[in-house]
Amino acid sequence: MRVSPAERAKNPERYERPVREDLVLQACLEAYGSVRHEGRLSDRALDFVLRHKKNLYSNERRAVAERVYGLLRRQRTVDFLLSRAHTRFDALDKTRQDVLRLATSRVLYGEPLDVVARTSALAPADAAALGALPEAAAALEALPERERFPIAASLPDFLADLFRKQFGRDAARAAEAMNERATLTARANLLKTDRDTLAKRLKAEGVDTTPTPLSPMGLHLESRLNVFSLESFRDGFLELQDEGSQLLGMLVDAPPTRVVDACAGAGGKTLQLAAQMKNRGDLHALDVDERRMEDLKKRARRAGVHNVRAQLIPHEGPEADAALEPLKGKADRVLVDAPCSGTGTFRRKPDARYRLTPEDLEMHVGRQKALLARFAMLVKPGGRLIYGTCSVLHAENEGVIEDFLSKHPDFTVRPVAELLGPELGPKLGPGPYLRLAPHTHGTDGFFGAVLVRAK
Ligand SMILES: C[S@@+](CC[C@H](N)C(=O)[O-])C[C@H]1O[C@@H](n2cnc3c(N)ncnc32)[C@H](O)[C@@H]1O
């Protein structure tokens, strides 16, 4: 008999099978190995491995994802500890190293040492290293702060430096919160429902939710869940969208006239803007990425959105200018949700930090400045330009806005608290911009600025 997701959710213990550790370990090694040694993106590596392991049960799939993500979050810490706890760690072959890394990470996340040792297929010499972890941890604690912080936070040195400069005494807390598991958050599609009705609908499907504290249309979902199989999802009543992203979308406050979502991607914010516009007016969704634009169209259909015009545009040059010409000076709102370092989403993409270099960051900042200047031309007099990133770094956020304002005296900053109203505004912290981070708001890291063009 097939058990419905609702029934399973009501009685999880009854339907949870014991994890077959050998199969889980094998899948973890394949997925982690392809991220660490072959440079694949973690979500793609996991998708790929799990797609080919049809014999794994859902709790085993979850264990694979949790363990691989967990290790990626703590990779630098784990490597340091093992270099101290195992006399020959560096000389071991890759697979043996990865088996040890996975076991160490499980211990760091609080699994009992004897259980991990028993279920990790470790060679005896390697099992002894697990016992030496407390001493290795003490050695880490004893390092001078400058050396300790990047290792304990599992950040590349240059990012650790930026975090220290930017967050000061909160740097460790900021990094620690980025190493937590992210919440699973939905946005109610206000074209089809409201938050309370959606919560009831989900409850009937066996899913517990809690309202997000900041966004009025968000719900945190219990996280052990395949959202895509839910009827509420398939029928377009909800979209997965972090609460921070919802707040950035709210800054647009899109009227049902002409709005441009200039870096629309797969449409996370486009769909939210369409709902703000009540499906009326013209919402131009632009992007350079054809695959994402195709996703956007599919999602728009599911969400019942029909005021969107998706347009693939060239990256730059005269052809890009020509594509934008018809919209020049015509838009009431232009959202530039710019490509960025993604430092705000490390909770979800824990491997991204190890790829990021100072040169990448510089490249992002250059591109952000160029995109903001280009799309600013579409704003009509009196209209608004909204700039956002999912970065927590000053250079990509305030730095880009300051540069823009110094070159565009016809734009002024509109404080976000003013736009979000007296109840929500004060909860967002001081300053004229939206600045969210896991350690301050429990959301992904987001930045948002609203600039008004003079009439
Ligand atoms: C942060 S993502 C957008 C996320 C999206 N707004 C959402 O809410 O899901 C940035 C997007 O900018 C796009 N992009 C990069 N260069 C661009 C350009 N020159 N013009 C327009 N879009 C560009 C990328 O393809 C990517 O989809």
Q: What pLDDT sits at residue 124?
A: 87
Q: How confident is the model at residue 12 (pLDDT cuts 50, 70, 90)?
A: low
Ligand 1 neighbours by CB, cut-off 6 Å = 262-266, 268-269, 286-289, 292, 313, 315, 337, 339, 371
Tell me how far the alpha carbon of residue 384 lies from the centroid of ligand 1, in angstroms.
19
Cα 319 to middle of ligand 1, angstroms:
18
Cα gap 263→282, rounded to integer Å:
16
Query: How far apart (Å, rounded) are the C-alpha atoms in residues 201 and 186?
Result: 13
Closest CA to 436 of 318, 331, 344: 344
Distance from Cα 184 to the centre of ligand 1, integer Å = 22
pLDDT tens string 345-389: 999 999 999 999 999 999 999 999 999 999 999 999 999 999 999
> Is residue 287 a known part of a binding site?
yes
> What digits encode the pLDDT tens for the residues 415-438?
999 999 999 999 998 899 999 999
- pLDDT tens digits for 62-101? 999 999 999 999 999 999 999 999 999 999 999 999 999 9
Q: How far is CA 282 from the centre of its chain?
A: 28
Rounded-to-integer distance, Cα 332 and Cα 386, Å? 11
Written as six digits, the tokens of 29 are: 């090694």
- CA angle 24/30/34 to nearest 5° reads 145
Residue 70 to residues 62, 67, 218, 364, Cα–Cα distance (Å) = 12, 5, 26, 27
Q: What is the pTM of this model?
A: 0.93
Number of residues that this document lists for the chain: 455
Task: Name 287's bridge partners.
Answer: 312
Mind listing the domains of the chain with CATH numbers? 5-151 (1.10.940.10), 184-240 (3.30.70.1170), 243-453 (3.40.50.150)
